[in-house]
Structure 1
Amino acid sequence: MHPDVSADLAELDTTLKTVESVLDVEELRRRIDELEHQAADPELWNDQDHAQQVTSQLSYAQGDLRRVEKLRERLDDMPVLYELAEEEEGAGAESALADADAERASLRADIEMLEVRTLLSGEFDKRDAVVNIRSGAGGIDAADWAEMLMRMYIRWAEKHGYGVEVYDTSYAEEAGIKSTTFVVKTPYAYGTLSIEQGTHRLVRISPFDNQGRRQTSFAEVEVLPVVETTDHIEIPEGDIRVDVYRSSGPGGQSVNTTDSAVRLTHIPTGVVVTCQNEKSQLQNKVAAMKVLQAKLLERKRQEEKAAMEELGAGGNASWGNQMRSYVLHPYQMVKDLRTEYEVNNPTAVLDGDIDGFIESGIRWRMSEQA
């Protein structure tokens, strides 16, 4: 095996050992045994909320263990792949060596991504994420841009095998969307996607301008942690106004023939949440309440953070609102304005290839907080 390959595998081994240490694999196994014992108790489902917490924690812990064990297994197999490549002759040797190099590059990316995950130690980082996207300045192009961003994040989740549930989409009159709310369901979804919060700017030749002029459009991305029963966000019933209406799709078409869509207004703050994902009125109300609680929890956190900063206890954590530019004309580039990370393939990025931006963003945030 070439010395450079040996050195690279040794470096990957060191990184993976650090990840295994941070995750504390032995403690993880002990925790899984304990949760499996609780899950097997027939009395568990007498308390639905507690049962869901136990099964959710078990699923998360099992996922973490599987992920790190699989990476260790792949790393242990790497020397064998190179040995097999050396035993081949002619064109077969070149092909086998190329396959081994490709697996090593893939393994490095996966280990580095898990390493970044170990940097997510915030209070809510382990949670699922509520993602809100709203079109901004730019008229019909901005509405189209908001829909492109929605697709980008959903494609990213699908590529990783993460669950997505769309709660609400408000379609614009001509094309695109005014806003959307969806949940990404996977461990650490909030910690991972929270770096995406801010204003995203698109520069392109407008497909809606018959003179083919360049247009700049903006859309706002908001990422919130899904609220759990332990968060103590109590909302008095009298503080909420509930409106029900008929769900509608693109072009104003009726999605539902009954008034199943729900709009919740939190009267003291004016926060409004809607849900119309084609389920029953009761299910839509429950989903809307989760989003409302998430918004109020984030509001509470921001108020506490502002109070701490006023007392001098907080850092200068203002990252700026406009965080990424996507330029399709006159040149091709996507650039993060905080990390300086850039890619010259906007098509791949808009198809969900955003792991590089997320990874560099999380590392940047950690350095800013240090």
Structure 2
Amino acid sequence: MNAIRHDFRSDTVTRPSPGMRAAMAEAEVGDDVFGDDPTVKLLEQRMAGLLGKDAALFVPSGTMSNLLGLMSHCGRGDEYIAGQKAHLYVNEAGGAAVLGSIQPQPIAHQADGTLALAEIEAAIKPDDSHYARTRVIALENTFGGRALPLAYMHAVADIAERHGLGMHLDGARAFNACTALDIDIGTLAARFDTVSICLSKGLGAPVGSVLVGRADLIASARRTRKMLGGGLRQAGVLAAAGLYALEHNVARLADDHRRARQLAEGLARHGALSVSMPDTNIIWVDSAPELAHGLSVYLAEHGVGVTGGYGQKQRWVTHLDIGDEDVTAALAVVDGYFASGRAPS
């Protein structure tokens, strides 16, 4: 198998740019467990200000950020509502249940990635000792690369408000959603009590997420972060990468979206591939199982990395380390596969 030269597996594979590395090397640091790291403080203040929230907490990962968000809303025996395919339900090792004793209530996704409003409301439990207590509704935006509309998020928040529930946003790629929806991050976050923002996906930082929200919830999350082993010492070297990303890597997300559209249109030239036209930087490609396997093998042989493991689907992701030349090269490899005679007829 050849080395990966054109890496579309995820936007987590990016490497710090020279400018980001310089910012990390020059960062002023202190012991963040004592509250002494000025760069971490600056990142947290910057994120809280951008989202229009009281406070923020820098953490090692999006998985920890989502877990802290849920645990700040919920106690043992409480419940959160989320999508059946939501990352915090499916892909985070059941942490909310295992570590927080929080019961998930999954809701099936609609074709557009939303959860039906009536199904959300029907899933909210009455105040009855037979049931777990519903405490929070968790949305994900983007979801599988789809940007959920602002009006939809407001409609879910209206349900939460009627029932006295909290709202949590898994906004791992929230800046991608803002780019697609042409809104600012404060507008996206306005109706949520807690928001998790990942710095190491489309924004290109090597490590870290930030949980942003109401002061009491962030204070609770800070305490729980310590219990989970997430207290960091001279973390300013990492926070500096996040600050650099916010300054330099948000506006350029539109380039990732443009390249994803170009890539999707090129893949869709092949009738055997069913290609979802992307809202943001994630493309889903569906095909017959034998074709999906053969194409994945051929791509790997020719140095193109994609992610499988989604049944018959491949996931292609554009990011700041993917240029126009990578898109052109990858499409040439796909064209070569179909011209080679190796594709099942």
- TM-score category by the smaller chain? under 0.3
Higher-helix-fraction structure = 1
- Quick check: which has more Rg, 1 or 2? 1
> Which one scores higher on RCO, CA 8 angstroms, separation ≥ 6?
2
